[in-house]
Amino acid sequence: MTRPVRLRIAPSPTGAIHLGLARTALFNWAVARRCGGRFVLRIEDTDRERSTAESEAAILEGLSWLGLDWDEGPDLGGPHGPYRQSERIDSHREAAGRLLEAGSAYRCFCTTERLAKLRAGQDARKQTPAYDRRCRDLDPAEAAVRAEDGEPFALRFAVPPGETRVDDLVRGEVVFQNAEVDDWIMVRRDGNPTYNFVVVCDDVAMEISHVVRGEEHLVNTPKQVQLYEALGSEPPRFAHLPLMLGRDKKKLSKRSGDVSLGDYRAKGYPRGAILNFLALQGWALDGETEVFSLERFVEAFRLEDVSKGGAVFDPDKFRWLAGEYLRAEPVGDLVRHCAPFVAGAGQLDPTSQRERAEWLAAVAAGEQERISLYSELPERIAYLFAADDAVVWEPKAEKNARKQGGAVLAEYLDWLRPRLSKGVDAAILRDDTRAWIEERDVGFAALFQPLRCALSGKAGGPDLFDVMEWLGAEACLRRLASGVERLAVVREGER
């Protein structure tokens, strides 16, 4: 019987969204969307000490920002709620009781000291640490009496003999020898349930059909499969995604650079580029096409095509993708996305941005070819906001300008002054200037290099006459005057 397609993401609200979590969310979401299934968001907050409401809110906000919408979740509710693990304790208790009753779980009264000693002995003998199953054979009735008398106990899963087979959609068949699986703790002595126990309880209750998650959870899978069987439930299909690796081929972590979604948002990576990049972490469209839309991804994505090998995180490629997306944006979107960075740099606050919307759109369009991240715009356009007599000249721009000298610029300024009395019209000025250069036969570089340096301090950039229009007549004249002056001062060593 085929079951309804239901996938989930089950983040622990203990920090920011790691790129690995974002990729897991994307892959789960894509399968749900392609199959017309449901995508569930469940918050795994059983670690009460490390879980925070802020982190939960940030996870919801981050996933929404990515556009990975869920159909059921703590904020939306749904037929299988509640969607916060800590609110499902009653159902976990009920399952624990059932497993105890059936003999699939047992009470373990071993003290922390005994377990520590056991472990130390195993360590000394270089054995894999494992519980010696001392309490597994206790008479259940006797154990119940001890528990009632208040003796603290943990609840352990009684791992059955034999082997456990997992037919993983990515990794194929994986066989685990049960003898190598410890009688693991389901509920700790302090009453707190463990991940392996509650994740299965909740996945069963939420009728999850596919569990798609990072490879680091493969070791948990035999325990979970055995638990499904003990609960009399059909296990889901599993798909373990390859680890995202840093360039050092180790698991991607803070050591390898920025790893949280928030870091990349803060740096101004376009949303589409982030999704596209995540899609490429362990999957490829056709081995050639690297830039593709989210729709295309959803259509083409199959868990069976995910690679087994680790996906190496390539920051240069990420940045390149960012540029591809940024340059393809309609300028209206570009301005909207750059706006917080422009305001953050103190260039134009939101009100001024509204008042100068057209101006900002023209300026942003002028730089679109030259930036890859939204955050790069402020730096590129900072010259427009500089004091006219203190434009910072980049060394290359200054070198070019000095090579030409300031004489032509000075003449041009005299010619220009009366022409700007009614403001700057880039189109007219462009034609007239060209005619002026040709008439005087001075060569374009003789004017344009000192002119660009005086206006922007840069060696390259958008069309010079556009720049003049953006600056306005007065600022242009002041910058040229200051440029002529600065170029007239010959610095030591230049003669």
Q: Which is nearer to ligand GLU, 145 or 219 (CB)?
A: 219
* DSSP letters for 89-101: HHHHHHHHHHHHH
Q: Which residue has the tokens 């540029």?
A: 323
Coil vs helix vs strand at 119: helix
Q: Which residues here bind ligand GLU, judged by CB under 6 A? A: 10-12, 44, 199, 213, 217
C-alpha 146/C-alpha 143 separation (Å) is 5
Determine how β-strand 237-241 pairs with β-strand 38-41.
unpaired
Q: Which is nearer to ligand GLU, 281 or 375 (CB)?
A: 281
Give the distance from CA 137 to its chain's centroid.
49
Does 422 qualify as catalytic in the annotation?
A: no
| Cβ count within 10 A of residue 282 | 22
- Residue 469 tokens read as 């229009």
112: exposed, middle or buried (Cβ count in 10 Å: 0-12, 13-18, 19+): exposed
- Asked if residue 442 lies in contact with residue 435, where contact means CB atoms within 8 angstroms, the answer is no
- Residue 212 tokens read as 């798609």
- Asked if residue 337 lies in contact with residue 272, where contact means CB atoms within 8 angstroms, the answer is no
CB of 106: closest distance to ligand GLU in angstroms? 24
CB of 194: closest distance to ligand GLU in angstroms? 11
What is the sign, positive or negative, of the torsion defined by CA atoms of 195, 201, 205, 211?
positive
Q: Which residue has the tokens 């066989």?
A: 175
Q: Which residue has the tokens 């840093």?
A: 246
- Asked if residue 236 lies in contact with residue 199, where contact means CB atoms within 8 angstroms, the answer is no
C-alpha 449/C-alpha 399 separation (Å) is 9
Q: Which is nearer to ligand GLU, 17 or 397 (CB)?
A: 17
Q: Which is nearer to ligand GLU, 28 or 433 (CB)?
A: 28
Of 263, 246, 264, nearest to 255 (Cα)? 246
Query: Side chain identity at 3, as an amino acid letter?
Result: R
Determine how β-strand 185-187 pairs with β-strand 210-214.
unpaired
Residues forming the active site: 254
